[in-house]
Structure 1
Amino acid sequence: MLLILSLGLFPLGLVAILASVQSARDNNDKRAEQTLSQLEIEAQRLTALLSHSSGTIRAASTAIALTAVDSRICETTLQRLARAQSSVGRFALYGDNNVIRCATPGFIPFAVPRADGRRSIVTIGEDGSALRFALFSDDGDVEGSGEFTRESLAELTSIAGGDSEFDLELIDGRRTMTLHDGYQPRPFEQFVSGTVPIVDERLQMRITLGAIPISIVELLTILLPVMMWIFAAIIGWVILDRLLLRPLLRVQRAVAAYQPGDRHLDLPTLRTPAREISDLGFAFDRLTQTVARHEGDLEAGIERQSRLVREVHHRVKNNLQVVASLLNLHARGSPNEDVAAAYASIQRRVDALAVVHRNHFAELEENRGVALRSLISELAANLRATAPASAAGMVIRIDIEPFQVTQDVAVSVAFLITEIVEFAMFCDAKVVTISLVAAGAGAGSARLTIESDALRGATPCDPQLFERFDRIVTGLSRQLRSTIERDTDSGRYALDIAVFDRT
């Protein structure tokens, strides 16, 4: 969200920054224009000084040449030059044959040869301490010469009431005269420099000064968009966090803390102008109430269904027990032993089915399946109780690990054990051993083993009985989706059955 706000405000901030930078550039350009204008003024002053001096000397040169040596016109001209000049200079005036007629006290004229036929020369002294000039007649004779010291020119070109932090130089080829030396470069500071020609482009004047520094107002103008950008992003983030994100987070925590079965959603008090968030919380609350009502209806429906299933199993078990009791009565009241044995055989199978329903009814509340240990134990007790007189001494041993199976598997296992144990009874078995252990094939299966001396191949028994027994056992193993393994040498029958994982 902060990134989105920053991107949204970025164009405005960029435009404001560019406008501020352009304003600073305009100020610097204005400073450069002012600097060049000031440089032009200084150049005009120096040019005017040289022009006035040259004009005065040339005007007096003819009169000096025509007057006697003791004439006062030469000294008068020097006085006129001294009074009329804004800068103190020193001059020398010449007569015929390049003879000095008069000179400013202390001035030693310099001999400068005429160059390129020019009527005047202007040059900077070798040590850069003075600006020298010389005037020539048409015949090449020297009319006059003079010089202005660096100090006098510096005073002439000074900026009254202005900034003194600038450099002003006169340039004559490789020679340079520094008139002002006040500019000190600073790190990261820009500077303005300009050059103009003077004295018919025989000299150049150059000025260098620092650019207008960015003022506090300009700096604030440049930084203000950035600060506004940052503050707008921060304020936007704070508003979103306080008024949107935090209330949403509180609603989220309340929803996350909701547990199935709770009747109401414990919504926090939301102080936010965003009504949509409060409406969202109320919508969640109504949803939880609706879910709670539906869960209550489902629980009531499941409870009714559980009672109905328990009632069905209970009635089936009772009906099976009634049928088993009737068969037992008929078996006891029958005068024919074969009929009594047939009734007893049917009774044992009905008992096996009743045992399955009783054990399934006992485990119905926890929905763990049918426990084979209690089922086989009870089934073995019923088989011993209904054994014929010839098998009254038969022993049934059980070694059952705690496993649970589905009702369909329990029914098939109960019928399989009943068939094998009954066959052993009719074949004069002494001992029947029933074991149930975990199968080596892995979780989800167990090995059921029934072993008896009546299951050995050498044991004499009715062939028709064995054929019927073998057909029933094979069919029951198919119902268990397994293959029964017969070991007639040891009298062992074994097969794998599907069980629930005990983990």
Structure 2
Amino acid sequence: MFLILTLALLPLGLIALIASLQAIRTADLEKEALLRIAVTQSARKLTADLQSDRTALQLTVDSLASNSADRAICNRLSLFLAANDAEGGRYYIYDSAGRRLCNSSEREPASMTPTARFDGPATELLADSPYLVSRVPSADKRIIALIYYSRKHLESVADPATALQNRKLTLRQGDRRLAISHVRKDPPGGKRSSLSARLDPYDVELTMTVREPPATIARMLSLFLPLVMWFAAAAIGWFVVNRVLIRPLVILRRAVAAYQPGEVLEPLQRMRTPAQEIVALGETFREISEDVATHEAEMAEGLETQRKLTREVHHRVKNNLQIIASLINLHARSAHEPEAVEAYASIQRRVDALSVVHRNHFAELEENRGVGIRPLISELSASLRGTAPAAARRFAIQIDSDNLHISQDVAVPIAFLLTELVELAMMLDPQGTMRISAHVLPEQANRALLSVVSSGLRASEDMTVHLSERYGRVLTGLSRQLRSALDHDGEAGSYAIAITIIP
């Protein structure tokens, strides 16, 4: 939610940031214009001063070259230069023979050869010397005047009228540099801005460099104030939305997620919120939970009633099957013919098979897992051996089964199918054995193979007769109920059928 609010307020933050950057850019342009005016003004002042001195020197050397000047002209020149230069103006006039004709009282800063005095440019920055020299020859080139400008004088002349802090003035001629002013206190860091102007008509450039003070915390805050305001607005908005909307909704969601049938929800009992919609939503959940609790209680009561009825029906069915079994047993005792006794015993075994299925089904009914195949076959085998004919009392039944479960619709035909096969095997080979196995089919989690193997089930004439008279039709009908083919291997004496199980 904080990210969504931040993105929603992003356009306003960007507008404020652009406005702040535009203001900074405007201030930078104003500083650049002020710097341009200052360097132009300084270059013009320096040019005017140099030109004024050159004019005075030109008049002096021309007068000296014409031999009509008096010696007082040198004094007048000294007074003129001293008026412009606090150091008195260091000038020196030589003829072509190297004789000094006129000079100021100070010692010449740099000694030059006669050739260097006449052959140099009109204005020159001396190498390894903090002076600017200006040469003024006479009209006939026989006399040369040299005037030296110190760094102090150049700085006083070139000082601009505009108030620029941290400025630095430098004269440049080719690869020579002369710094005529220095920053009094050069701040660390900061941005440098430089502009240059040429001293007309000389090939000397004046460069003014201004270093801005480094960015302070206050300046950085003013620059990023729009972003800070944008972030603060998003944070305040998120805090309000979180306290008023998100937190109550989270509490409500947790209460609903932890809801158990039968409970009554009170999600906003320990928290108040001014959002009436959320309060109404919490009340709605509470009313729904009350209705659900009421219906759950009614359903639990109805389920208990249904369970009691199911138990009562079970007991009644079990009693009825016991009564039927008792009646069959009573009639079997009163019968005298062996065929009648065997008929009653056959009926008794099938009723017992149905009773076994019913008992196992009701035992697993509470957990709703279906009928277990292993206990079903085990109990059915014990019942069949208990009601077996006298000749088959030693008939052995081995059981090999996985822990499988089947529905009652499958358990009833399986119980009858095993009863028919065990009875048929006992009749044909009373002293034999039988192996009953049930295993899950490979790659089929809901199918299992039920197989019955016995020596009494091998192909023979007696078996063919029994199958044709009765057992064959019964086995076929039971396999149809199971919706699967019953395979018989006469040589191995085995029957196999695929049944549906509960995964």
TM-score by length of 1: 0.72
Q: CA deviation at 1:244?
A: 4.6
* Residue in 2 that maps onto 1:74: 73
Q: 1:283 to 1:435 in 2, by over 3 A?
A: farther
Contact 1:167 1:183 in 2 (8 A): no
Map 1:100-499 onto structure 2 (within 5 A). 103-106=103-106, 121-125=122-126, 127=129, 129-134=131-136, 136-137=138-139, 146-158=147-159, 165-172=166-173, 176-182=177-183, 189-201=190-202, 203-211=204-212, 213-214=214-215, 216-259=217-260, 261-265=261-265, 267=267, 269-325=270-326, 346=347, 349-350=350-351, 352-367=353-368, 368-369=370-371, 371-372=375-376, 373-381=378-386, 383-384=387-388, 391=390, 394-395=393-394, 397-400=396-399, 405-419=406-420, 430-431=430-431, 433=433, 435-439=435-439, 441=441, 445=448, 447=450, 449=452, 451=454, 457=460, 467-480=469-482, 481-483=484-486, 485=488, 487=490, 494-496=495-497, 498=499
Following superposition, the deviation at residue 136 of structure 1 comes to: 3.5
C-alpha separation in 1, matches of 2:345 and 2:141? 167
SS where residue 180 of structure 1 aligns?
A: coil
Say which one has the larger Rg: 1
> How far apart, CA to CA, are the structure 2 residues paired with 1:449 and 1:62?
146
Asked if 1 retains the 8 angstrom alpha-carbon contact of 2:53 and 2:81, the reply is no
Task: State the one-letter code of the partner of 1:267.
Answer: P
> Do 2:89 and 2:148's aligned partners in 1 also have CA atoms closer than 8 Å?
yes
Give the partner amino acid of 1:209.
V
Letter in 2 for 1:200: P
- Tell me the CA shift for residue 81 of structure 1: 1.4
Question: What are the Cα deviations for residues 68-123 of structure 1, in whole angstroms up to 9, with x where unaligned?
Answer: 87x6743652464156334421456899x9998754335779868889xxxx9554
8 A contact 1:483–1:495 mirrored in 2:
yes
In the alignment, the residues of structure 2 paired with residue 238 and residue 488 of structure 1 have an alpha-carbon distance, to the nearest angstrom, of 85
CA 376–45 in structure 1, closer or farther in 2 if over 3 Å, else same: same
Q: TM-score, normalised to structure 2's length?
A: 0.72
CA contact (8 A) 2:62 2:138 kept: no
Number of residue equivalences:
485
Q: Distance in 1 between matches of 2:466 and 2:154?
A: 150
Q: What one-letter code is carried by the residue in structure 1 that aligns with 2:412?
A: V
In 2, the alpha carbon distance for the partners of 1:234 and 1:307 equals 62
Distance of 1:199 and 1:83 partners within structure 2? 24
CA–CA separation in structure 2 for the residues paired with 1:353 and 1:238: 72
Query: Which amino acid is 1:219 matched to?
Result: M
Contact residue 57 and residue 143 of structure 1 kept, 8 A: no
Contact 1:128 1:175 in 2 (8 A): no
Point out where structure 2 has 5 or more consecutive residues left out of the alignment: none
Q: Structure 1, residues 416-450: CA drift from partner, whole Å, max 9, x if none?
A: 4554566678x697547555334485675464647
Q: Give the equivalent residue in structure 2 for 1:30.
A: 30
RMSD over aligned Cα atoms: 5.0
CA–CA separation in structure 2 for the residues paired with 1:250 and 1:296? 27
Measure the CA separation in 2 of the matches of 1:256 and 1:105.
104
Q: 1:210: how far off?
A: 1.8
Distance 1:493 1:57, change over 3 A: closer
Q: SS of the residue aligned with 2:486?
A: coil
SS in 1 for 2:255: helix
Q: Return the letter of the residue paired with 2:224.
A: L
CA separation in 2, counterparts of 1:309 and 1:3? 60
Decide which moves more: 299-308 or 53-62: 53-62
| Contact preservation (8 Å) 2:170, 2:177 | yes
Partner of 1:13: 13
Counterparts of 1:247 and 1:32, CA distance in 2: 57
1:222 Cα offset (Å): 0.9
Q: Which runs of 5+ in 1 are unaligned?
A: none
1:4 counterpart residue number: 4
